[in-house]
């Protein structure tokens, strides 16, 4: 019989908080992390979007040497902060004896965009000799994973998965498979992202994906609402510690939930737009449930990708209906991006933590800003207020540009 893979530690830095406890409290209370952009002067930059879901009050020197922090991109600073909380939370001891049996799979869709943008400007204004010698490790997408391995002395497999907004979930799913095959005994896995820059905001706005409700930002994003007008960019990191059940029990670890299944597919349809039918997402959902050896009637909650864009929310609704049939109308669904914004590659990792908390606490987070139903999105989206429901199995959807679909299934541990 296949041994269960369990979650023994969690850590995060995101627009709702600088740790798991603070984040969960704000999430359940329906607090929005959206506000005016402060990381750069969006008005002077000439971009049309002036709002984002920024990480607030983060001081990297609280998590690393100040000199070291200056040599790290913001997404890498987030990674170390989240990883430290997760490892402390888990009580996992990494020693010379087990370092080669621990993996680090911490993903990023884009990597150090802020450092790259700054370096390009420096090259043009001051010349190439003024570019930082630390630029490469600051911009590479695997930087967070590599620095985490250095931080904890981990010598097992170490890499980053890049599959757009599915990166975090794909990384966690990859760690699950590596544990199941016996390649590693434990994993630090998750994702980090920090793309709130002139280039990042302008690029996603030019694709037509961003909300421009600069004056009414307290009402956006509006996932699944008829009046939704796009996503709000977020940032942050989330890291989980995964182990085999027998190893976790042997060392007396607290087990928070089981990572039961993973599914991944490609739409093979369009480089940015989702497939209208949602079939690619539906296939990933079915694959995740098969991986978890679960039936569709066991699912008690779906943490939706739910970006707040017109096409994504419609296609995801169709994917859920294609997967669950008439049961789709009985399963509560919510988009926590209505509060955190869209953290790009890191979103799936944070939402996995939300799913763990949902099965542990018996509380389902809401979709805030939901006011006007859309006939094309007619499921139960847990509007505006958290709901107390005990459930044993939940799924988390992550669908990314390029047609990447990744779904995680998490089960209450008993």
**DSSP code string of 186-252:** EEEEEEEE---SHHHHHHHHHTT-B---SS-GGG---TTBTT---B-BB-EEEEEEEEEHHHHHHTT
Query: What pLDDT, on a 0 to 100 scale, did the predictor assign at position 235?
Result: 98
| Separation between Cα atoms, residue 198 and residue 49, nearest integer Å | 10
Domain range summary for the chain, segments of one domain joined by +: 5-250, 262-411
Does residue 384 sit in helix, strand or coil?
Answer: coil
Q: How much is the average pLDDT of 66-74?
A: 93
* Positions marked catalytic: 165, 305, 342
CB 382 within 8 A of CB 364: yes
CA distance between the termini of the chain? 17
Q: Given the structure tokens 């399963």, which residue do they identify?
A: 331
Listed residue (408, 349, 342) closest to 106, CA to CA? 349
CATH number of 262-411: 3.40.47.10
Q: What percent of the chain has pLDDT over 70?
A: 100
pLDDT at 265 over 80: yes
Torsions phi, psi for 292 (to 5 deg): -85, -5
Q: What percent of the chain has pLDDT over 90?
A: 95
| Separation between Cα atoms, residue 255 and residue 9, nearest integer Å | 8
pLDDT at 275 over 90: no
Residue 22 binned pLDDT confidence (cut-offs 50, 70, 90): very high
Residue 273 binned pLDDT confidence (cut-offs 50, 70, 90): confident
Bridge partners, residue 193, by sequence: 236
Compute the C-alpha angle 306/47/367, nearest 5°: 20
| Separation between Cα atoms, residue 374 and residue 381, nearest integer Å | 11
Pairing of strands 5-13, 236-244: antiparallel
Phi-psi region of 412 (alpha: psi -120 to 50; beta: other; left: phi over 0): beta
CB 261 within 8 A of CB 295: no
| Separation between Cα atoms, residue 339 and residue 221, nearest integer Å | 8
Does residue 1 sit in helix, strand or coil?
Answer: coil
Say yes or no: do domains 5-250 and 262-411 share a fold: yes
CB 353 within 8 A of CB 89: no
Query: What pLDDT, on a 0 to 100 scale, did the predictor assign at position 276?
Result: 82
- Mean per-residue pLDDT of the chain: 96
| Separation between Cα atoms, residue 150 and residue 204, nearest integer Å | 33
Predicted TM-score of the model (pTM): 0.97
Q: Within its chain, how far is the Cα of 86 from the centroid?
A: 15
Does residue 410 sit in helix, strand or coil?
Answer: strand
CB 408 within 8 A of CB 396: yes
Domain 5-250 has CATH 3.40.50.300: no
Query: What pLDDT, on a 0 to 100 scale, did the predictor assign at position 6?
Result: 98
pLDDT in tens, 324-366: 999 999 999 999 999 999 999 999 999 999 999 999 999 999 9
- Retrieve residue 139's tokens: 């911009």
In angstroms, the Cα distances linking 411 to 21, 89, 323 are 20, 20, 18
């Amino acid at each position: 019989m296949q041994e269960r893979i369990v979650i023994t530690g969690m850590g995060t830095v995101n627009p709702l908080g600088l740790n798991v406890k603070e984040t969960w409290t704000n999430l359940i209370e329906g607090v929005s992390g959206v506000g005016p952009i402060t990381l750069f002067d969006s008005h002077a930059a000439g971009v049309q979007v002036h709002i984002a879901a920024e990480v607030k009050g983060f001081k990297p020197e609280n998590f690393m040497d100040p000199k070291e922090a200056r040599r790290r991109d913001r997404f890498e600073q987030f990674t170390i902060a989240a990883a430290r909380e997760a490892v402390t939370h888990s009580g996992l001891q990494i020693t010379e004896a087990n370092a080669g049996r621990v993996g680090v799979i911490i993903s990023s869709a884009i990597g150090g965009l802020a450092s790259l943008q700054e370096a390009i400007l420096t090259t043009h204004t001051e010349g190439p000799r003024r570019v930082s010698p630390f630029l490469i490790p600051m911009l590479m997408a695997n930087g967070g994973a590599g620095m985490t391995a250095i931080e904890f002395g981990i010598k097992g497999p170490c890499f980053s998965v890049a599959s757009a907004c599915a990166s975090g979930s794909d990384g966690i799913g990859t760690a699950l498979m590596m544990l199941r095959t016996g390649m590693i005994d434990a994993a630090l896995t998750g994702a980090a992202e920090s793309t709130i820059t002139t280039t990042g905001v302008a690029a996603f706005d030019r694709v037509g994906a961003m909300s421009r409700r600069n004056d009414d930002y307290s009402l956006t994003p509006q996932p699944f609402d008829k009046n939704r007008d796009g996503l709000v960019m977020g940032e942050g990191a989330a890291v989980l510690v995964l182990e085999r059940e027998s190893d976790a029990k042997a060392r007396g670890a607290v087990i928070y939930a089981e990572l039961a299944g993973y599914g991944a597919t490609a739409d093979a349809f369009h480089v940015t737009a989702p497939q209208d039918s949602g079939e690619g997402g539906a296939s990933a959902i079915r694959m995740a449930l098969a991986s978890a050896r679960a039936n569709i009637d066991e699912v008690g909650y779906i943490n939706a990708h739910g970006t707040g864009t017109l096409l994504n929310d419609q296609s995801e609704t169709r994917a859920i209906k294609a997967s669950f049939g008439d049961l789709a109308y009985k399963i509560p669904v919510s988009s926590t991006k209505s509060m955190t914004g869209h953290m790009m590659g890191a979103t799936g990792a944070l939402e996995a933590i939300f799913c763990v908390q949902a099965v542990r606490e018996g509380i389902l987070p809401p979709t805030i800003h939901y006011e006007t139903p859309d006939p094309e999105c007619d499921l139960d989206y847990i509007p505006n207020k958290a709901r107390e429901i005990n459930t044993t199995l939940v799924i988390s959807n992550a669908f990314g540009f390029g047609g990447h679909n990744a779904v995680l299934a998490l089960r209450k541990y008993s």
